[in-house]
Amino acid sequence: MLTKTGNLLAENILDGKLVAEELHQTVSKTLQHIGTISPQKPKLVVILVGDDPASQVYVNRKAQTAVKTGMLSEVLTYPVNTTQSQLLAVIEKLNADSLVHGILVQLPLPSHIQTEAIVSAISPEKDVDGLHPFNLGRLLAGEKTALCKPCTPAGIITLLQHYNIPLAGQHAVVLGRSNIVGKPVGVLLLQENATVTYCHSKTRNMAQITRQADILVSATGIPLMITTEFIKPGAVIVDVGINRVNGKLVGDVDFNAVKDSASWITPVPGGVGPMTIATLMLNTLTLFTQQTGIKAD
Ligand code: NAD
């Protein structure tokens, strides 16, 4: 099968790049329409502390996509020795800036900075990745109104739904329990009426559990860990992992080994990653509308 982007893909690929592109176009059209009503544009600010090359790539990609879709975007880069109070001061200023609608702090942060303190300092109204405890609480409570869901988990659900993959009643097994991916993706799958099992670093006999999965979401960051022994034939495999091995990007899943036994599978790159960015664009637009009251009819 030849995709719109010209890549040759097997038929069971969940093509995040393609779906993300469609979402960018939707956001772009909405913003063009908004442009006829108001000169104001949504603004996303992404904060990067340190010089991790992978984080630099992600941050630039986020900012560039925001501009491509017609938003304003700024990347604020700080050295690795930035203190927690310096970073808190930056966030306080951005919270008070009425021209900034979405604030994202690229994780992970250097170890001397407490992630919870930083994420909690972002105003919940500007928390574009939905990771503030208030927003995570709302997510857990199942609140649906004007809620920014965490970008990677929400992007995964959008991708599965785009391909009409049934979720209700399916056994979804999530590998990983981080606040940014594992926990919220399980909550979102539960909201879609899947039966959810979490596995993590202390889980015993994991393959016995994963082999029961109709949908397997892996977010461990362990390269190529998931081989055929972990998979029920016909399962849907979502690979969140981004790992660099010998200069090449690979996921948690040994794609070549399992792709023929999966009914659907995300590639790395080109699966979950682009969906994360597309959801970030949608979330920024949502926050802009909430804060300004400006929306396309
Ligand atoms: P994390 O390190 O915070 O969490 C990893 C999780 O994996 C932990 O909960 C841990 O318990 C679990 N784990 C570790 N070893 C395990 C094992 N042997 N079996 C089962 N579970 C195990 O990482 P994170 O921030 O959740 O990210 C996970 C991966 O997803 C990383 O590779 C990261 O780069 C990637 N990621 C990708 C995107 C994207 O947009 N594609 C977004 C965020 C994170």
Q: In the block, which residue shows the tokens 């919940």?
A: 124
Predicted local confidence at residue 88, as pLDDT: 98
Q: Is the model's pLDDT at 5 over the cut of 60?
A: no
Ligand 1 pocket residue status of 177, Cβ below 6 Å: yes
Q: What's the gap in Å between 4 CA and the centre of ligand 1?
A: 30
DSSP, res 253: B
181 lines ligand 1 (CB under 6 A): yes
Residue 296: per-residue pLDDT: 87
Residue nearest to atom 18 of ligand 1 (CA): 201
Residue from 163, 158, 182 nearest 282 by CA: 158
Q: Ligand 1: which of 104, 205, 220 to mutate, most ligand atoms within 8 Å of CB? A: 220
Torsion angle, CA of 206/211/217/222, rounded to 10 degrees? 40
Check pocket membership of 159 for ligand 1, CB cut-off 6 A.
no
Give yes or no for residue 8 having a pLDDT over 60. Answer: no
Pocket probe mutation, ligand 1, options 59, 242, 243, 244, max atoms within 8 Å of Cβ: 242
Tokens 């995040």 belong to which residue?
A: 16
Environment class of residue 260 by beta-carbon count within 10 Å: exposed (0-12), middle (13-18) or buried (19+)?
Answer: exposed
Report the C-alpha gap between 96 and 36 in whole angstroms. 27
Section 52-71 average pLDDT: 96
User: In the predicted model, what is the mean pLDDT of residues 23-34?
Assistant: 98
User: Is residue 9 scored above 80 in pLDDT?
Assistant: no
Looking at the CA of residue 155, tell me the nearest atom of ligand 1: 40
Active site residues: 62, 106, 129
pLDDT at 147: 86
Q: Please tell me the distance from the alpha carbon of residue 126 to that of residue 132, in angstroms, as a whole number.
A: 10
Q: pLDDT tens-digit profile of 103-145?
A: 999 999 999 999 999 999 999 999 999 999 999 999 999 998 7
The token pair at 226 is: 């998931």
Question: What is the predicted pLDDT for the residue at 4?
Answer: 43
Instruction: Kindly indicate the confidence band of residue 11, based on its pLDDT and cuts at 50, 70 and 90.
Output: confident
pTM: 0.96
Residue 78 CA to residue 247 CA, distance in Å, equals 26
pLDDT surpassing 50 at residue 270: yes
Q: How many Å apart are CA 286 and CA 226, to the nearest integer?
A: 36
